[in-house]
Structure 1
Amino acid sequence: MGKLVPLRRREATGQVNVLPPSDILFWNSLFQGLDRSGAFLQLQIRQMIVTAIEDGRLPLGVRMPSSRDLAALLKVSRNTIVIAYEQLVDQNFLVSRERSGYFVAGLPKQIEQVRSNGLPAAGSDESRWTERFALRPSQFRNIIKPLDWQSYPYPFIFGQFDPSLFPTNDWRESARAALSVPEINNWARDMIDGDDPALIEQLQCQVLPRRGIRARSDEIMMTIGAQHALYLIAKLFVVADTPVGMEDPGYPDARNIFGMLTSNVVPLRIDEQGLVPDEVFERCRLAYVTASHQCPTAVSMSLERRRELLRIAKARDILLIEDDYESELIPEVSSLPPLMSLDVDQSVLYVGSLSKALAPGLRLGYVVAPAPVIRELRALRRLMLRHPPLNNQRVAALFIGLGHYRSHLQQVARVLLERAKLLDRMLPQFLPNCSWTRAAGSTNYWVSCPEGTDTTQLAEKARARGVVIEPGDVFSMHEAATRHCFRLGFSSIRTDRIEPGMECLGSVVAGR
C-alpha cells in the first residue's frame, strides 16, 4: 500500500474538512463490507480495522481519520466511531495522541520488525510444514459452497437457511431469558463432560418423541453439530483396518472422517429404496446410513428395507450409524420411523441436529446411544472441548420449552412444502431432458443430467448468472460416477425467486 496522504487540517473557521480523494478511495475500500442495516456497527468497524492492521494494509504509525471525518464518510454516528477507536486503544491496536488523533500501534510493530529485518514470516515455508503433517485434510474432496451465497439471487443450495424464516423474536425472547441472573448461574459454570440438563430434558420430552424415540438422560449427549457427533463416533469405534460401510453416493464429510481413521472405507450400493444390505454390507463392522432421506439422492428407505437392515445388522453384529439430518422437516406424508425407533438390539447409534431446523450456524447436534457408549463419548468429547457452550444449550432449551420450536417447525413446514410443490411443477418445464428424485419430506432434489454432462462446469456457468447449485461428483467415491448429477436444494432460496431461478438454470443446462 502506498503512503497515505495526511489528513487536511481544519480551518480556523471550524469548518469540517473532507478527506482528500486519495484517502476517500482507500478508506471506502477498507470498509466496503460494512453492513449499515445490520446491528453492532462499531463492532463491525473494529473488526475491519483489526483485520487491516493484521494483514498489513494499515502499517505501524498510520494516522486514522478523525472520528468526525470517518463518521461522515461511512454515514454513521460520530459516537459509533469514537467508541470503536477507544476500544481499539484499550486493546493496543491504536494509540491516541493529544491534539494529533489516533495512530496505528501495537501488533503491526512486530510485523514491521520482521519486514525490516528482511526475514520471511514464520510459517511462510510451506514445504517445511508439509513434511511434518500426519495427514492433509485440506486435500480431501469436500462439498464447496460460496460463503457469500446469500448475495446470489438464486441460491439452490442444501443445508442453509432462509433468514426470513428464522424465528427472530422468539429466539430473542429465549436469549433474554437465558441472560437472567438465575439462568447465568446455571450455564456459566464448567460442566466438565456434562450437558445442560434442561436441554436434555427437552430433547427427551419434545424433540425425540416426534421421531418415535424414547431415551434416558444417560443415553443422550450434545455435540457441536451432527458432524462433530460423527467424528466422535468414528474416533471411538474405528481403527486402521476397520471395514466401514459408506453409502455411495453419500455424505462426503462422513466419508472423509472415516477415511482419516481406516483405509477400509467400503462403498455401499444405493437403489430407489436407499442403502442395499447385500453381501458387501454384511462384511462391514460399521455402516453409515441416511435412511429417512438418503444423502444426496433424497430417496427414502422403505419400512421393509429398514427392518431387513436391522435384521442383518443384528445377525452380523454390524453397528449402524444413523444420520437423521432432516428429521422430516416437511410432513408431506406419514413419517417412516427412523432405524433407532425400530431397534431392539442396540444396533443403532442415532445422530440428530437442531441446526437444520433452526440455523446451521447454531451448531447444535446430539447423539442417542446405549449408556455405555454415551459414557465413552463424553470422556472423548471432554478431551476435545469439554462440552458445547452451555449458554447456547440453555437458549435452545428455553426456546423448545416455551413452545417456540414446535410453532417454528409448523411455519417452516408450510413454506418448504409450498416450495417443493412449486419445484415439482417447474422441473419438467425447465429441465425436460433431466430426471430427478426426492422423497416426501426432503428439502432437496437429486438431478441427473444426460450422460456426458459435467455438472462442475455447469455449476460455474450457472453461478456466473446468479444461480448456485451443487455439482454431484464430490458425493461419490469415484467422482466420474455422478459427474452428470447435481443437488438442488430449496431451503435457502425465497419462494418468489424459485421460478426465475429455474428459468435461468434451464437456460444454462440447455446451453443458451
Structure 2
Amino acid sequence: MPIPAEAFFLDRNTGIPLQAQLRRQIIAGVLEGRFRAGEKLPSSRHLATHLGVARVTVAQAFAELVATDYLTSRDRSGHFISDRIEPLPPTPDPSAAGPRFDWSARIDGRFRATERTDRIAGWRGYRYPFVYGQADAALVDHTAWRDCAVRALGRREFIPLTSDLYGEDDPELIDYIARQILPRRGIRAGADRILLTLGAQNGLWLAAQVLLGPGRAAAIEDPCYPGLRQILAPTGARVTAVPVDADGLDPDRLPPGLAAVFTTASHQSPTGTAMPEPRRRALLDRALRDGFAVIEDDYEFEMSFAGSPSPALKARDDAGAVIHVGSFSKTVFPGLRLGYIVADREVIREARALRALVLRHPPGVLQRTLAYYLSLGHYDAQMARMRVAYARRRAAMTEAMTAHGLIPAAETDRGGSSFWMRLPEGVVSARLAADLRAQDVLIEPGEPFFAHPPDGAGFCRLAYSSIPVERIPEGIARIARALKA
C-alpha cells in the first residue's frame, strides 16, 4: 500500500530545517507503526511538489534514511519502508494504570514560580522583531565555525576531547581567555582564577549559590536583568532592589548587612548607562569596608562601537572582592551558551566543586571549537562585522525615532544593541506590546525588569541585534502609530 504525500507536512515557523522535519515524520511513522515494512513512499518529485520544497531536500532526506536503515531503495521502483526497524511497543494508557503518584505533594514549585512569561519563542516569525539577546545569523561566519568544529573533531583532538575532564576546562580556551579576552577589559588573571560556565546566567547562578542562602542579604539594581531575580529567588536570601539613576547604581543607597551586590557597572541592564569612575571606586571601597562581594555582569563590552569601553570593575579590584561574569552568547551567538567567571582562587575552587555536582564541565568539543574560533581570528573578524552592522542599525533607529518624536529614557553613546525607552504618559507597555504583536512588531515591555512590575509600565526596550537595517524605519513607524492610537 503506497503512503500518500498528504501524510506529510512542514511547519516553516518552527525554526527546524525542513529536511529534518521530513526525516522526523518518516521515523516517527515507522516507530509508531503507522508506516509498515514494504510500503512505498511518494516519489521525491511528487513529495517535493506537495510540500513546496526543492526536490533535493526530499532526496537528501530519503538518502539519510536509507543510510540508517529506515528506508530501502529499489532501482527504478522508488523508496520503501525498511523491514529492519521494529516499531515501538504501544504506550500504555496512564488513565488505565490505576492510582497516580501525587507529585504535587512533594514538589513545592519554587523553581517553576520563577519562569519568565514575557519571552516570545517564535520571534523569527515576526517581520519587525526589536527583541534583545538574539543574533542575526547573517553576521556569523558559518563556514569558519564549521571549519573550527571539524578541527575539534579531528583525529589528533579526538582522544583528549572524549575524556572526562573531572571538572577541569579546556586549557587552550582558558589560555586564550586569560591572554586575549580579559586584558581587553583591563583584567589580569591566571588559569586558576578562571572557570568556564554555560553562559552568563550559569555564572550568576554559581555566584549566587556560593555566596547566598537563607539569612543572607543581597542587593540588585532596579531595573535589572529579569533572569537575575529568577536566580536569586530560590536561594532564600533577602534581596533589596536599589533604584538606579543616570550614573547607574549609587553605592550610598546600599543597605547595611549585605553579603553580595550584583551590578552591570559598564553597561547597565537595561538602561545602557555606564557607572562613572568615582562611583566605581566608592563601590569597591565600601565592599572592602562592609565585607560584601560584588558580582559584575560584564555583558556587551565588545559591542562598544562609539569609542573604547571603560575598563571592567574587576580591573580596579586590588582586594579581590569582585566576581567578574563574562559570556560569548552576545558576541559569537546565543545558542553557544559558553561564558566564564573570574574571581579569587577560593571562589573558583568552590564554584568548580558546585559546577561538578551539576554538569562536571561544559562539553569538551564545544570548548575546543570555540578555542579555535578565537585563536584563528574568526572572533575578532566577527566583532568587527557586528560593530559596523550595529552602528548602522543604531543610526537608522536614531533617525527613525527622531522623525517620530520618540526619545530614549537614557542617553548613551557607547553602543550596545538596544534602546531603553520611556513611553508617553498613560501608555502601558505590556498592552502596547500586545497591540504591536498583532501588527507584526515585537518589543520588550518594561514590567519584567522591575522588582515592582507596575514601575516598568511606562518603559520598554527596543533592540536592534536581530532586525535587518532596512526594516527598522517601518518598524519604528508602526510603533509610533500604535503610541498615537
1:32 aligns with 2:6: no
Residue 51 of structure 2: aligned partner: none
Distance 2:371 2:309 in 1: 25
Q: Secondary structure at the match of 1:291?
A: coil
Letter in 2 for 1:119: A
When residues 138 and 121 of structure 1 are mapped into structure 2, their CA distance, relative to the original with a 3 A threshold, is farther
Q: Secondary structure at the match of 1:161?
A: coil
When residues 427 and 224 of structure 1 are mapped into structure 2, their CA distance, relative to the original with a 3 A threshold, is same
Q: Residue deviations 1:27-46, cap 9 Å, x none?
A: 23xx334999x97x654423
Residue 259 of structure 2: aligned partner: 285
- What is the Cα deviation at residue 423 of structure 1? 1.6
Q: Residue deviations 1:371-399, cap 9 Å, x none?
A: 11111111111110110011111111111
1:195 aligns with 2:176: no
Could you tell me whether the CA contact under 8 Å between 2:427 and 2:483 is conserved in 1?
Answer: no
Q: Residue deviations 1:264-307, cap 9 Å, x none?
A: 11111210011111243443210110011111111111111111
1:238-387 maps to which residues of 2 (within 5 A)? 238-387=212-361
Instruction: Decide which of 111, 116, 125 is 1:142's aligned counterpart.
Output: 116
Could you tell me whether the CA contact under 8 Å between 1:330 and 1:416 is conserved in 2?
Answer: no
Letter in 2 for 1:199: L
1:45 aligns with 2:38: no
Distance 1:121 1:451 in 2: 58
Distance 2:203 2:28 in 1: 33
Q: Secondary structure at the match of 1:441?
A: coil
- What is the Cα deviation at residue 138 of structure 1? 2.5
Q: Which is worse superposed, 386-395 or 171-180?
A: 171-180
Distance 1:122 1:186 in 2: 49
Residue 89 of structure 2: aligned partner: 109
Residue 157 of structure 1: aligned partner: 131
Matched-pair identity in %: 32
Distance 2:97 2:366 in 1: 41
Q: Secondary structure at the match of 1:399?
A: helix
1:468 aligns with 2:442: yes
Distance 1:416 1:281 in 2: 38
Distance 1:132 1:53 in 2: 38
TM-score, scaled relative to structure 2:
0.89
Residue 133 of structure 1: aligned partner: 107
1:425 aligns with 2:399: yes
Q: Secondary structure at the match of 1:191?
A: coil
Letter in 2 for 1:133: I
1:76 aligns with 2:55: yes
Could you tell me whether the CA contact under 8 Å between 2:110 and 2:234 is conserved in 1?
Answer: no
1:116-127 maps to which residues of 2 (within 5 A)? 119=96
Q: Residue deviations 1:295-321, cap 9 Å, x none?
A: 111111111111111111111111000
Letter in 2 for 1:419: R
Residue 468 of structure 2: aligned partner: 494
CA RMSD between the two structures? 3.1
Letter in 1 for 2:271: T
Instruction: Decide which of 176, 185, 190 is 1:211's aligned counterpart.
Output: 185
Q: Secondary structure at the match of 1:110?
A: coil
Could you tell me whether the CA contact under 8 Å between 1:467 and 1:501 is conserved in 2?
Answer: yes
Could you tell me whether the CA contact under 8 Å between 1:42 and 1:83 is conserved in 2?
Answer: no
Letter in 1 for 2:340: Y
Q: Secondary structure at the match of 1:380?
A: helix
Could you tell me whether the CA contact under 8 Å between 1:155 and 1:467 is conserved in 2?
Answer: yes
Q: Residue deviations 1:74-106, cap 9 Å, x none?
A: 35356534445446756xxx999xx99539986
1:442-457 maps to which residues of 2 (within 5 A)? 442-457=416-431
Distance 1:174 1:51 in 2: 33
Q: Residue deviations 1:114-154, cap 9 Å, x none?
A: 27xx527997x8xx322211433222252632222122111
Q: Which is worse superposed, 493-502 or 420-429?
A: 420-429
Q: Secondary structure at the match of 2:8?
A: helix
Distance 1:134 1:205 in 2: 45
Letter in 2 for 1:109: P
Q: Secondary structure at the match of 2:301?
A: coil
When residues 432 and 383 of structure 1 are mapped into structure 2, their CA distance, relative to the original with a 3 A threshold, is closer
Could you tell me whether the CA contact under 8 Å between 1:282 and 1:312 is conserved in 2?
Answer: no
Q: Which is worse superposed, 255-264 or 285-294?
A: 255-264
When residues 48 and 474 of structure 1 are mapped into structure 2, their CA distance, relative to the original with a 3 A threshold, is farther
- What is the Cα deviation at residue 411 of structure 1? 1.6
Letter in 1 for 2:254: V
Could you tell me whether the CA contact under 8 Å between 2:118 and 2:448 is conserved in 1?
Answer: no
- What is the Cα deviation at residue 365 of structure 1? 0.5
Q: Secondary structure at the match of 2:403?
A: helix
Residue 12 of structure 1: aligned partner: none
TM-score, scaled relative to structure 1:
0.85
Q: Secondary structure at the match of 1:206?
A: helix
Could you tell me whether the CA contact under 8 Å between 2:2 and 2:41 is conserved in 1?
Answer: no
1:173 aligns with 2:147: yes
Residue 194 of structure 2: aligned partner: 220
Distance 2:63 2:13 in 1: 16
Could you tell me whether the CA contact under 8 Å between 1:211 and 1:341 is conserved in 2?
Answer: yes
When residues 340 and 434 of structure 1 are mapped into structure 2, their CA distance, relative to the original with a 3 A threshold, is closer
Distance 1:345 1:35 in 2: 49
- What is the Cα deviation at residue 49 of structure 1? 4.4
Could you tell me whether the CA contact under 8 Å between 1:451 and 1:484 is conserved in 2?
Answer: yes
Distance 1:263 1:450 in 2: 36
When residues 85 and 402 of structure 1 are mapped into structure 2, their CA distance, relative to the original with a 3 A threshold, is closer
Distance 1:51 1:33 in 2: 19
Letter in 2 for 1:46: R
Letter in 2 for 1:411: R
Could you tell me whether the CA contact under 8 Å between 2:223 and 2:449 is conserved in 1?
Answer: yes
Distance 1:257 1:305 in 2: 26
- What is the Cα deviation at residue 233 of structure 1? 1.3
Distance 2:409 2:356 in 1: 46
Could you tell me whether the CA contact under 8 Å between 1:156 and 1:467 is conserved in 2?
Answer: yes
- What is the Cα deviation at residue 176 of structure 1? 2.1
- What is the Cα deviation at residue 348 of structure 1? 0.2
Distance 2:476 2:97 in 1: 50
When residues 107 and 367 of structure 1 are mapped into structure 2, their CA distance, relative to the original with a 3 A threshold, is farther
Q: Secondary structure at the match of 1:271?
A: coil
